[in-house]
């Protein structure tokens, strides 16, 4: 079996590859030929100040690709107020580094195929899925894109968006001036084109055809008054949209009906506002029949439409990931890396046993 680094994965796996394999995944999910288990987050107190420990897991199976996977995170989580919004942040508590792993297995033999850090796949699968939301739901002639966010996830949103639509104008808003200016330089290098950095959120979205929210905020970042007919909205956190946005005549497609993780909280864990929000957020939006909404898999299977007219407002609601995304993108990475002189070989025997489990 192999162990790959993030740098090796970045050399091999590009956004067009991610989009290609995610199209396969959602077609398979839509037809019931792939499986996904919802995310589980286990919380406990920790010795770190004003923080909690979280052990997160999710898994998936895509028989067409011959791979199953488990994604694991071991995190120290804190919450901070930034520019008036509360934001969730993972602390790099292991000598300035984070802990996240994806384990990939063969559906032919059951053997472990690879272990990889999850950060790059995490970024690309979220961005790629938002890109598919644009592909299926935005107007074909969409030309102006507005992005909220300037972090690790935000860059992948732009890579995917520009792979599925020919945007002539890209605007980026972030409340932190230094962050948005740094992001502007980084994305110009990564995307190979200029973006407009905005200091005002309303100016960023004015006249936009597509608005993507890619923040870590647990408070709204977009206002309903800014949303106009014909726009497509993409969100990766439920809190990014305010309550009154759902009063608009908006076609909504959800990533999954399991829109919140299963939270398991040990005795002694400090009170966590985010967990209350996860429970109450949907209850505060009774105007939406969430279980009846179509999923992205339904759209790929042809059971639902992403857009039916140019003046519709559409929204791809993508606040929680799937283990099956890691399965699909991990399988594509293994395919592309096959025969290349990268990765570290580890004896498969270290991870198999002669004792019947």
Whether 95 and 134 share a structural domain: no
Whether 138 and 52 share a structural domain: no
**What does the pLDDT average to over 338-353?**
96
Question: Cα(180)–Cα(203) distance, rounded to whole angstroms?
Answer: 15
Residue 326 has pLDDT above 60, yes or no: yes
Question: What's the pLDDT tens digit per position in 68-86?
Answer: 999 999 999 987 776 667 7
* Locus of tokens 């107190």: 45
**What does the pLDDT average to over 312-326?**
95
The structure's pTM equals 0.93
Question: What's the pLDDT tens digit per position in 158-212?
Answer: 999 999 999 999 999 999 889 989 998 998 888 888 899 999 999 999 999 999 9
**141 lies in some domain:** yes
What's the pLDDT at 174?
92
What's the pLDDT at 260?
81
Q: Which residue has the higher pLDDT, 334 or 257?
A: 334
Question: Cα(327)–Cα(121) distance, rounded to whole angstroms?
Answer: 10
Residue 24, by phi and psi: left (phi above 0), alpha (psi -120 to 50) or beta?
A: alpha
**30 lies in some domain:** yes
Burial 330-343 (b: 16+ CB within 10 A, else e): bbbbbebbeeeeeb
Number of domains in the chain: 2
**100 lies in some domain:** yes
Whether 118 and 210 share a structural domain: no
Whether 191 and 118 share a structural domain: no
Question: What's the pLDDT tens digit per position in 230-287?
Answer: 999 999 988 899 999 999 999 999 999 887 889 999 999 988 766 655 667 777 788 8
- What the block records as the tokens of 139 is 């107007």
């Amino acid at each position: 079996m192999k162990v790959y680094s993030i740098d090796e994965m970045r050399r091999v796996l590009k956004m067009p590859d991610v989009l290609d394999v995610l199209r396969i995944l959602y077609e398979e999910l839509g037809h019931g030929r792939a499986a996904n288990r919802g995310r589980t987050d286990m919380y406990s107190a920790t010795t770190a100040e004003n923080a909690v420990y979280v052990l997160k897991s999710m898994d998936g199976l895509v028989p067409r690709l011959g791979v199953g996977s488990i994604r694991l995170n071991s995190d120290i989580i804190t919450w901070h107020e930034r520019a008036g919004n509360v934001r969730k942040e993972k602390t790099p508590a292991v000598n300035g580094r984070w802990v996240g792993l994806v384990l990939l297995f063969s559906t032919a033999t059951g053997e472990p195929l690879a272990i990889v850090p999850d950060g790059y796949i995490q970024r690309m699968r979220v961005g790629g899925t938002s890109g598919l939301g644009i592909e299926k739901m935005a107007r074909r002639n969409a030309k102006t894109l507005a992005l909220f966010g300037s972090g690790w996830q935000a860059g992948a949103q732009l890579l995917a968006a520009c792979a599925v639509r020919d945007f002539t104008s890209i605007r980026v808003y972030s409340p932190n001036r230094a962050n948005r200016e740094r992001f502007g330089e980084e994305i110009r290098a990564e995307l190979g084109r200029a973006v407009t950095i905005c200091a005002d959120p309303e100016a960023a979205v004015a006249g936009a055809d597509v608005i993507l929210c890619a923040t870590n905020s647990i408070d709204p970042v977009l206002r309903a008054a800014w949303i106009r007919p014909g726009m497509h909205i993409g969100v990766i956190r439920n809190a990014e949209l305010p309550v009154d946005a759902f009063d608009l005549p908006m076609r909504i497609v959800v990533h999954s009906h399991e829109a919140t993780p299963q939270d398991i909280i040990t005795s002694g864990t400090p009170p966590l506002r985010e967990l209350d929000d996860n429970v109450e957020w949907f209850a505060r939006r009774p105007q939406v029949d969430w279980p009846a909404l179509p999923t992205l898999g339904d759209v790929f299977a042809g059971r639902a439409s992403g857009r039916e007219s140019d003046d519709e407002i559409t929204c791809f609601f993508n606040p929680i990931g799937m283990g099956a995304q890691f399965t699909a993108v991990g399988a594509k990475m293994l395919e592309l890396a096959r025969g290349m002189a990268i990765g570290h070989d580890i004896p498969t025997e270290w991870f198999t046993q002669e004792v019947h489990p």
